[in-house]
Amino acid sequence: MRFNFTSAFGPQTFDTRAFDARVHQADGGASAGDFGDLPEWDLSDLYTGMDAPEVKRDLDWLEGACVSFAEDFEGKLADLDGAGMYDCILRNERISQVAGRLGSFAGLLYYQNTVDGTRAKFFSDIQDKITSFTAPLVFFSLEVNRIPDDVIEDMLQDVDLARYRPIFERMRKMRPYQLSDELERYEHDMSVVGASAWNKLFDETVADLKFNVEGKELGLEAAATLMSDQNRATREASAREVANVLGKNIKTFTRVHNTLAKMGDIEDRWRGMPTPQTSRHLSNDVEPEVVEALRDAVVAAYPKLSHRYYELKRGWLGLDKLQVWDRNAPLPLEDDKAVQWDAARETVMEAYAGFHPRMAELAEPFFTKGWIDAGVKDGKAPGAFAHPTVTDAHPYVMLNYLGKQRDVMTLAHELGHGVHQVLAADQGELLSSTPLTLAETASVFGEMLTFQRMLSQAKTKEERKILLAGKVEDSINTLVRQIAFYDFECKLHEARKGGELTSETINGLWMSVQGESLGPAFEFMDGYETFWSYIPHFVHSPFYVYAYAFGDGLVNALYAAYLESPEGFEDKYFDMLKAGGSKHHSDLLAPFGLDAADPKFWDKGLSMISAMIDELEAMD
């Protein structure tokens, strides 16, 4: 999921993990009280309420600041010296901060309850006003990109402006794809009734879905968790009901995907983007060949990763074939006892402190100051995310905690994001945001620390086996599944260029990547072909999903480097997180001796998962 607000530097976003990346294991009928006292957000650090006078104050300020910014700088950027451009950047940064605070507050309120009409209206109204107020700023990147290189270079000799070099470099990568000033302004103004409106339709449709499983009426989050229940009949019932409800709504989902893919195609053609993925690669500040190397390495590894693991799991479960409701099934010897919230907190905090006390110190306020919203509630958005808000506030974490080991890992993941966002905040509003490829580094590293601590404390062979299997499944969900999702998106957007896609066509594209990625241990029930329809990233953040695979593969390689050379690693790791978006991924990885452009880099990370499967095979 994502919400947008716009500054002179373009849309600012937050994203959740792709919902299918981790299906929570839990009893869909469980209540928040079953797991202890689950925390809720205290959003008063942003605003005390929708009617708080500070909301109007900041909206009024934003409107005036955007007008005066355009009056002072439009048509004059090329004539500025370094000091003048630095003043311009500082004013823009303040605009981004105020817009970000407003947009964050409205979005967080909305995602707490997406079916609340008052919240939905407030969120929509705030988005509309921010879009309208910031329209005068559209000139900025267009005008910067018309300034000759030597003039920009002269400006960047100013010592204060020099730290913003990455902003200018990323902005100027868009030069070949820039439209006229008039068209850019038109697109800006139309954004609230374009992709944003279709995103809301998707969110509201998903939030309103009801699933009847074994006599209980459930939302999507709770229904999907039952596909990980200990009882196979319950897993099958939930999978068939999810397929049934998605099938009844497939026309709406098909319309959403057709429209957004066509909108993307039109914009790409007008901008001259060579591929539908180009804009994502540019926003991620990553080269297409690096993504292609990652994709190819993971696809080549399907047989030794997912195919091999699921064949093991098929044997453990005593089945001739795995069905889709067995993919995330617990092992027969797995304890189904709920993990209390306090125990989850203690596990993650001990793992963080075991790496470095500073990491636990940074995570502590999330638990003590209302920075986490953990419970499952009617209307709450599914999945989990960490949203950085703005650099003069703090991040917020959303979970749907259902008391299972994988929920503990989700907590570790999102807290990793939170720690990263806190550390990067010192870079300021425009440089704190990390490209999505590296944005998953701290989160996956937090999971790895938690997993390794739990593994070291395993008392029996069975406990170790369960932990290893869980980690392998999470890695498959994050690497194999997300690359398969990426391939599905590539196929969908390419097919849409040829005309309107029927539901059956999209279903076929989905199934074309499922057997390839999951392997021969599976057969697929009727109805599974519609499961593409509820994955939010396809709607909100096209092609985002490879960032998860990037992060997982990177962290596996990073953790291997940690084990090989632990001396001084912690300081280099914290320096990497503090850098935020101020450095390219090649510069951030260089101190660790790693290079994402080297295909062998990805093989190193994948071999770590393969070694875990080796150990599992040896246990049989």
pLDDT band at 9 (very low <50, low <70, confident <90, very high): very low
Query: Cβ atoms within 10 A of the Cβ of 592, count?
Result: 19
Query: Is a pLDDT exceeding 60 seen at residue 7?
Result: no
Residue 445 in contact with residue 576, Cβ under 8 Å? no
> What mean pLDDT comes out for the span 357-385?
94
56-66 pLDDT, tens digit per residue, is 999 999 999 99
- Whether 598 is in a domain gets the answer no
Query: Is a pLDDT exceeding 90 seen at residue 8?
Result: no
Query: Is a pLDDT exceeding 90 seen at residue 359?
Result: yes
- pLDDT for 335: 72
pLDDT band at 35 (very low <50, low <70, confident <90, very high): confident
Query: Is a pLDDT exceeding 60 seen at residue 416?
Result: yes
- pLDDT for 418: 96
- pLDDT for 620: 76
| Residue whose C-alpha is closest to residue 2's, from 288, 202, 205, 242 | 202
Query: Is a pLDDT exceeding 90 seen at residue 273?
Result: yes
Q: Which residue has the tokens 């309103």?
A: 208
Q: How many C-alpha atoms does 48 have within 13 Å on its Cβ side? A: 4
101-121 pLDDT, tens digit per residue, is 999 999 999 999 998 999 999
566 SS3 class: coil
> What mean pLDDT comes out for the span 486-490?
97
Residue 473 in contact with residue 328, Cβ under 8 Å? yes
- pLDDT for 143: 93
307-337 pLDDT, tens digit per residue, is 999 999 999 999 999 999 999 999 887 777 8
243-266 pLDDT, tens digit per residue, is 999 999 999 999 999 999 999 999
Residue 7 in contact with residue 134, Cβ under 8 Å? yes
492-538 pLDDT, tens digit per residue, is 999 999 999 999 999 999 999 999 999 999 999 999 999 999 999 99
> What mean pLDDT comes out for the span 393-419?
93
Q: What is the DSSP letter of 339?
A: P
Q: How far apart are the first and last CA of the chain?
A: 41
Query: Is a pLDDT exceeding 90 seen at residue 599?
Result: no
- Whether 54 is in a domain gets the answer yes
Query: Is a pLDDT exceeding 50 seen at residue 129?
Result: yes
- Whether 85 is in a domain gets the answer yes
Give the total number of structural domains in the chain: 1
141-153 pLDDT, tens digit per residue, is 889 999 999 999 9
- pLDDT for 519: 96
- Whether 494 is in a domain gets the answer no
| Residue whose C-alpha is closest to residue 201's, from 127, 241, 255 | 255
22 SS3 class: coil
228-237 pLDDT, tens digit per residue, is 898 999 999 9
CA dist 395 and 415 (Å) reads 10
Query: Is a pLDDT exceeding 70 seen at residue 390?
Result: yes
Query: Is a pLDDT exceeding 60 seen at residue 22?
Result: no
433-482 pLDDT, tens digit per residue, is 887 778 888 998 999 999 999 999 899 999 899 999 999 998 999 899 99
- Whether 128 is in a domain gets the answer yes
Q: What share of the chain is helix, strand, coil (3-state, %, to 5)?
A: 70, 5, 30
Pairing of strands 5-7, 10-12: antiparallel
CA dist 387 and 367 (Å) reads 15
Q: Is the dihedral of CA 350, 356, 358, 362 positive or negative?
A: negative
577-589 pLDDT, tens digit per residue, is 999 999 888 899 9
The helix (run of H) or strand (run of E) holding residue 386 is strand 385-387
Query: Is a pLDDT exceeding 70 seen at residue 202?
Result: yes
- Whether 78 is in a domain gets the answer yes
| Residue whose C-alpha is closest to residue 104's, from 121, 89, 125, 126 | 126
Classify residue 210 as exposed, middle or buried by CB count within 10 Å of its CB (0-12, 13-18, 19+): exposed
The encoded tokens of residue 532 equal 């593409």
Residue 285 in contact with residue 584, Cβ under 8 Å? yes
Any alpha helices (H) in 302-424, and if so which ranges?
A: 308-317, 341-355, 357-368, 405-424
- Whether 544 is in a domain gets the answer no
| Residue whose C-alpha is closest to residue 17's, from 362, 446, 523, 605 | 446
| Residue whose C-alpha is closest to residue 261's, from 563, 584, 494, 537 | 494
User: CATH no. for residue 163?
Assistant: 1.20.140.70
The per-residue DSSP string of 199-225 comes to HHHHHHHHHH--EEETTEEE-HHHHHH
| Residue whose C-alpha is closest to residue 229's, from 334, 139, 341, 83 | 334
Q: What is the DSSP letter of 322?
A: B
- pLDDT for 405: 82
CA distances in angstroms from 331 to 317, 469, 521, 616, listed in the order given: 7, 9, 16, 13
Any alpha helices (H) in 249-332, and if so which ranges?
A: 250-271, 278-284, 288-301, 308-317
CA distances in angstroms from 211 to 27, 34, 217, 221, 350, listed in the order given: 14, 22, 5, 10, 38
- pLDDT for 453: 92
Domain span at 157 = 5-198
The encoded tokens of residue 193 equal 């009734």
- Whether 611 is in a domain gets the answer no
Query: Cβ atoms within 10 A of the Cβ of 31, count?
Result: 10
CA dist 85 and 198 (Å) reads 37
CA dist 437 and 549 (Å) reads 9
- pLDDT for 13: 33
171-180 pLDDT, tens digit per residue, is 888 888 887 8
* Chain mean pLDDT for the chain: 90
- pLDDT for 265: 95
- pLDDT for 357: 96
The pTM of the full predicted model, rounded to 2 decimals, is 0.81
Give the whole-number percent of the chain exceeding pLDDT 70.
95
